[in-house]
Structure 1
Amino acid sequence: MALGRLVSAASEIASPMLDAVRTLTDSPADRRSWAGHGRIHLEVRGMHRPGTEEAARALERRLTEVEHVHSAEVNAALGRVVIFHGAEPVAPTVLTDVIAEVEREHGLESSGYAPASARHPGNAAPVLREVGALATSLTGIGYTAITSLLPVRTLPPLLPTALSLTDSVPWIRSTVESRFGRPATDTALALGTTVAQTLAQQPLPLFIATCQRFCTAQEAFARNQAWRRWERTTGSRPGSHRTEPVETPPRPGPLPDGPVEYVANISGALALAGYGTASAIIGSPQRARALLQAGLPRASKAGREAFAAHLAGTISTRGDLILEPDTLRRLDRVDTVVLDAPILLTGRQVVDTVIPVDQDDDPTALFHRADELLDPQRPREHAQHGDWAVAPVGEVTEQLPEHARDTAREQAEHGGNVLALSYRSHPVALVRVVAELDPYAEALAGAARGAGTVLVAGLDGHLDRRLSLDGAVAGGNRLLNSIGELQADGRAVALVSARGHAALAAADIGLGIPAESGAVPWNAHVLCSSPAHVGTLLAAADNARTLSRRSAALSATGSGLGALLAALGPELGADSRASMPVHAATLCALGLGTFSGMQAAGRPALVEHARIPRHAIALPPVPGTQGTSRQ
């Protein structure tokens, strides 16, 4: 039995690895690709930009002319074309030749690939990079254990310290990324730091790096496997991949720093200042290196990385698709959640409230009468059946008593349409018709409150009042502007929507829910299979904030103690003394981040709200009015 479990665990690791190697070897030299379940996904140049719709349609037509190709769909959001070929194999080189020809015909041969394509969950490179870094760390631990007993010359510790500082301090890392690009920077820092620590014989930093790489490797595996499951269950539907390009304006200002960024930037600046001061003024290279090591803000980043990696692995296993892995690393900074109105509604109009004009009338019976007459698609139209009729209250205002008119105005202020139910042309009740709330609407709003201010995108229907939200912003075609205005005010915004518009891409965190029609909002950063999973992510923002504050505090404490130990005591061994509190803080942050990720992922799933028919509630009649009672 133990052997069986071991074989099963080994296969779980080996299978994604073999798939990644196969994907990488089968990919064309200049294009990322993914193949499986009778489909091939290939990168295309420039078609993620608006104005290239004609080129996309031309490419789809040309690809369907290739033998064994059934259809093709351009996914502009991901910058890829999806070729459906069924059981018959198609040579990728034939397809890439057609793609290159269409790109030349439309002047796109010099255009770049979509940024989202580099972060595609089906890419093989991130999986192999993380596994390679993990294997290098494990090899490094073995190497240091052996060479510690041998007279082997070691690398000066300044290089691994400088690489760690580059990786941990946001403003330094962003400078390097702007020069060399994100993928190259990730690979160089992951492997370079590990190799440098190995040659410098630093076993404790290598052990910490191994723990971190284990977490991020699990995340890469989970994202890749989630993509395969998504393609197997959802990707075969015609039209499920096709999306049009959208124009996403740049963020109006930088994303506000959280505790992690704040502490890391200050620690990095102080570390460089301490190193320069000790080198130039004191003239002590060893104490200067010690101050540089003391300023490493590794703990702050390590805690958040462990949290995000564990949460990503869990939600990927549940069936969600993470298109932008940095999304979960921004959760701690979200302070505003915008809920797109359509995800809170079922699309049906229902009778919400019936208020009898005559106190002797039965509200339950009147509710049934109104419900029978109401046309859910055209609730404002006059409808009649026998002696009973329903019409907009404005058509019978003159027949209503003054108090009934006041009540009608009050009901209208709560949103929806106010109708009058009449019997033999005599108004007997006021009827308020509203858009029906989705069963998850209340639970989703409650989960969002843990992240901060909650707004609804859509000014009609008074959903902010019905769900006790903090306000409303313009939705529909104006939603992109609303997101930009919130960001310009210094807010970090999460948007939840089922529509694949530019606002999802422009938000700091875009959470998409596939529509019932099968349309997929590919511009989102995370595709959630149900509103319940969206609630888990929104509620996790509170865990993320708490974890970031604690990780930042651990980092500051470790650096402070390290600087104190570097300054005190003999110069010999100053760098070793200074690094110990930093390493201890980093290990604590890793454990805390993993535990917080488990807490966030283990939150109870959202529960659908059981709707209580309003006719079951005894509502008071319109005050001060009398009418004719009906038996």
Structure 2
Amino acid sequence: MAGSVASVLALPGRIPARTVPPDQVRTAVSAVARAGGRGAWFLVRAVGGATAGVTKAGLHTAEGAGRIVTSAARHGVFRAMGAPASAARVGHALVDLHPRRHTRSVWTGHGRAHIEVRGLAHGGHLQERLAKAVTRSLRSLEGVRWAEINAVTGEVLLAFDEGRVGIDRVLDTIRAVEQAHGVQDADFPWAQPVTPGDDVPVAAVATELLVDCAAVCAGAAQRILRLPPLPRAVPTLVAALELERALRRPLMRRIGPPQTDVLLSLVSAVVNGLCDGVAMPAVDVASRMLLLGEVRARREVWERREKDLCPGPDCVPHTRPARHLRARSRPSGPVGTWEARLEAFAPLTAAAVLVLTRSPARAANALLAAVPRAARYGREGFASAVGRGLAKRGVVPLDPTALRLLDRVSAVVIDSAVLVNHRQEQQGGRIDPLAVPVLAAARATGAHVVLTDDDRIRALLSLADQVVGRGERLADRVCELRDLGEGVLVVSGTDAEALAAADIAVGVPGAPGVEASWSADLVCVDGLADAWCVLRAVTAARTVSRGAVQLTLAGSMVGILFAVVGRRRGMVHALTPVHMASLLALLWAVVAARRVTRGGPALGPWSSAMHPGLEASGGDVEQPRPPRATSSSPQRSP
């Protein structure tokens, strides 16, 4: 597919421009109208008055860029650079363009620290020797109360007296041990998430926001001073890189997948700002502000809840659950499916516009309009807003990338132990009042619901599509679902292996004094109410992604129409419908995310019948529907 894009870009610019015949124009307009549908024509009617509005909004954004820059720097870069050592580490992290992450993650606060150790991913006897040497050396330091290796995160956790030993000395001790074992040059995989309290993610997003603000200012200056735009081939090449994964693979192998996505996003914002004005970078500024809010909320909830996750050395896991490779890839989701279709559709559309109009510039505009920006903004904006909302509720996101997979969940696996009210354990293990709302939320996702067999919740087993027998390991069932191509979300308290095998792992602490597993992506410290909120977000994520894809289709179709029949000097307006669709998708995603992360589950008739006298706690919840029969595994009756 990369060759098809390259062939379109390489078409000679010597093709003589000519006026498009009226019959061809009518045919093109009719075809695009049928493809775009009612949503496309809505944008056609709105785009005339919105073009000036987008320009004015961009100019206002440029005027306020100074305030945004100051706020972003205050909350991100400046805080991270409070000390010279922190400033140097943040600076190295921002330019860490390697196939594997070179900068270690460090968090310290309240007399505690989480620090990544090089070489722990090697496994075997080297890992054991290195872990023992690191902990022994740190315990020997005056002022260190305890130190343990977290085998799941690859970090050393320690508590120390900040007045007697500083973090610089701790880091020097760790480096000395790494050098003694020959792992001082070992890197970290990009897939390994950094500590939520690390300043580097905040500084990175703040830096990206500064670049977007600069792009807005550059676009506004170009519009006001009437400077010539960049050649059309430059944004077209960037669009080709965004559309075609094959063209991005060499860059991904060289600097890593996350860095590639960030780099392309920043380059796209700057290039389009210098070529098409302030509209696209202005929308990107809004998206970055949401992301900045998410990473700040993630750091704040970590600082509040870190002691709850790890009150002492006994809670640190010394073994890492086995990682199981997928036999089949997870579902693509609405956005991924649309992007896969565009890899073939976009180059063909650009080629058709070129043949129809004999204008390389119009073909380039058609290719730019086909980039699914609205779909990506919608999915990313929803994930950022949900992450911020969950963090404000007290959910600790150990791995925020899990929130980007919410629209790809097709199976929900719940460890029945989390549905038991352990405070009533001595009275027979009474079912938690929130168990039914959680199961109702799981079924409302439309996903396949799996429960583990447990006598304490026998009355609820009929609500599941499958029941995992007592002699079967939950992790094996999760791996089986993954091998069938399912996107699996697991809710469990202490089953670290099942959580590690999941695509999205939701940890719910069990009995008092039992900490949630470090293998979880999202830790619901406050229990089932937050797990219910996560399941509601799964349902909303799929709806938001589908709507964002529809907005993408409408904006792209209208943009292609403008590329074909628009005025020659006004061809830049071909991207205006795309920018409007992106903004609408972003706003809709934020509203949907705030709706699902506020409030709590209500106790419906089922819960009230099992627990008379309990009152509703607010919010809405769908009642359980009849269980579905499955062909792969028969349902068990209680």
The normalised TM-score by structure 1 is 0.75
The structure-2 alpha-carbon separation of the partners of 1:349 and 1:595, relative to structure 1 and needing over 3 Å to count, comes to: closer
Aligned to 1:626: none
Pairwise CA distance, 1:258: 1.2
1:84 match: secondary structure? strand
Kindly indicate whether residue 105 of structure 2 is the aligned counterpart of residue 32 of structure 1: yes
The structure-2 alpha-carbon separation of the partners of 1:473 and 1:158, relative to structure 1 and needing over 3 Å to count, comes to: farther
Identity of aligned residues (%): 30
The one-letter code of the counterpart of 2:588 is: L
Kindly indicate whether residue 116 of structure 2 is the aligned counterpart of residue 43 of structure 1: yes
Report Cα offsets for 1:327-356 as digits up to 9, x if no partner: 122111212111112212346998xxxxxx
CA contact (8 A) 1:47 1:56 kept: yes
The structure-2 alpha-carbon separation of the partners of 1:20 and 1:531, relative to structure 1 and needing over 3 Å to count, comes to: farther
Kindly indicate whether residue 516 of structure 2 is the aligned counterpart of residue 454 of structure 1: no
- Higher mean displacement: 597-606 or 581-590: 597-606
The one-letter code of the counterpart of 1:551 is: A
Kindly indicate whether residue 590 of structure 2 is the aligned counterpart of residue 579 of structure 1: no
What is the root-mean-square deviation in Å for CA atoms of aligned residues? 3.4
Pairwise CA distance, 1:148: 2.1
1:108-147 superposed matches below 5 A? 108-109=183-184, 111-113=186-188, 115=190, 117-147=192-222
- Counterpart CA distance in 1 for 2:245 and 2:408 is 15
Which residue of 589, 601, 613 corresponds with 2:585? 589
Which residue of 360, 382, 386 corresponds with 1:307? 382
Pairwise CA distance, 1:519: 2.5
1:167-182 superposed matches below 5 A? 167=242, 176-182=251-257
Aligned to 2:556: 559
The one-letter code of the counterpart of 1:42 is: I
Which residue of 285, 293, 316 corresponds with 2:360? 285
Report Cα offsets for 1:577-624 as digits up to 9, x if no partner: 42122122111111111111122112534659568589xxxxxxxxxx
The structure-2 alpha-carbon separation of the partners of 1:11 and 1:146, relative to structure 1 and needing over 3 Å to count, comes to: closer
- Counterpart CA distance in 2 for 1:476 and 1:523 is 23
Pairwise CA distance, 1:494: 0.5
Report Cα offsets for 1:243-280 as digits up to 9, x if no partner: 52222112221111111111122234322333356568
The structure-2 alpha-carbon separation of the partners of 1:468 and 1:272, relative to structure 1 and needing over 3 Å to count, comes to: same
The one-letter code of the counterpart of 1:138 is: C
The structure-2 alpha-carbon separation of the partners of 1:12 and 1:555, relative to structure 1 and needing over 3 Å to count, comes to: closer
CA contact (8 A) 1:459 1:473 kept: no
CA contact (8 A) 2:222 2:277 kept: no
Kindly indicate whether residue 60 of structure 2 is the aligned counterpart of residue 65 of structure 1: no
- Counterpart CA distance in 2 for 1:300 and 1:165 is 17
1:92-107 superposed matches below 5 A? 92-103=167-178
CA contact (8 A) 1:500 1:524 kept: no
- Counterpart CA distance in 1 for 2:175 and 2:469 is 42
- Higher mean displacement: 40-49 or 485-494: 40-49
The structure-2 alpha-carbon separation of the partners of 1:103 and 1:507, relative to structure 1 and needing over 3 Å to count, comes to: same
- Counterpart CA distance in 2 for 1:498 and 1:218 is 28
1:132-281 superposed matches below 5 A? 132-150=207-225, 152-163=227-238, 166-167=241-242, 176-231=251-306, 234-276=309-351
- Higher mean displacement: 288-297 or 29-38: 29-38
Report Cα offsets for 1:370-411 as digits up to 9, x if no partner: xxxxxx6xxxxxxxxxxxxxxxxxxxxxxxxxxxxxxxxxxx
Kindly indicate whether residue 436 of structure 2 is the aligned counterpart of residue 442 of structure 1: yes
Kindly indicate whether residue 587 of structure 2 is the aligned counterpart of residue 600 of structure 1: no
Pairwise CA distance, 1:173: 5.9
2:529 match: secondary structure? helix
Which residue of 90, 96, 99 corresponds with 2:165? 90
Pairwise CA distance, 1:297: 0.6
- Counterpart CA distance in 1 for 2:406 and 2:293 is 20
- Counterpart CA distance in 2 for 1:461 and 1:330 is 32
- Higher mean displacement: 209-218 or 279-288: 279-288
The one-letter code of the counterpart of 1:447 is: A
Report Cα offsets for 1:56-95 as digits up to 9, x if no partner: 2332122101222221121222221122112325344533
- Counterpart CA distance in 2 for 1:601 and 1:122 is 22
The one-letter code of the counterpart of 1:568 is: V
The one-letter code of the counterpart of 1:210 is: V
The one-letter code of the counterpart of 2:339 is: A
The structure-2 alpha-carbon separation of the partners of 1:551 and 1:441, relative to structure 1 and needing over 3 Å to count, comes to: same
1:315-464 superposed matches below 5 A? 315-346=390-421, 435-451=429-445, 452-458=447-453, 463=458
Aligned to 2:154: 79
Report Cα offsets for 1:106-154 as digits up to 9, x if no partner: 5655544255544432232221222222222223223322332325343
2:286 match: secondary structure? helix
CA contact (8 A) 1:48 1:246 kept: no
1:511 match: secondary structure? strand
- Counterpart CA distance in 1 for 2:383 and 2:317 is 30
1:239 match: secondary structure? helix
The one-letter code of the counterpart of 1:45 is: R
Pairwise CA distance, 1:541: 1.4
Pairwise CA distance, 1:504: 1.1
Report Cα offsets for 1:182-218 as digits up to 9, x if no partner: 3422431243223223332521112111111111111
Report Cα offsets for 1:453-487 as digits up to 9, x if no partner: 21113476674854522221257872222111112
- Counterpart CA distance in 1 for 2:246 and 2:524 is 32
CA contact (8 A) 2:489 2:504 kept: yes
CA contact (8 A) 2:270 2:281 kept: no
Report Cα offsets for 1:471-519 as digits up to 9, x if no partner: 2125787222211111222221110011151321221110012343242
CA contact (8 A) 2:190 2:258 kept: no
- Counterpart CA distance in 2 for 1:303 and 1:445 is 27
The normalised TM-score by structure 2 is 0.74
CA contact (8 A) 1:340 1:475 kept: no
CA contact (8 A) 2:378 2:545 kept: yes
Q: What are structure 1's unaligned runs of at least 5 residues? A: 1-6, 351-375, 377-432, 615-631
Q: Which has the higher strand share?
A: 1
Aligned to 1:502: 497
Aligned residues, how many? 525
Pairwise CA distance, 1:228: 1.6
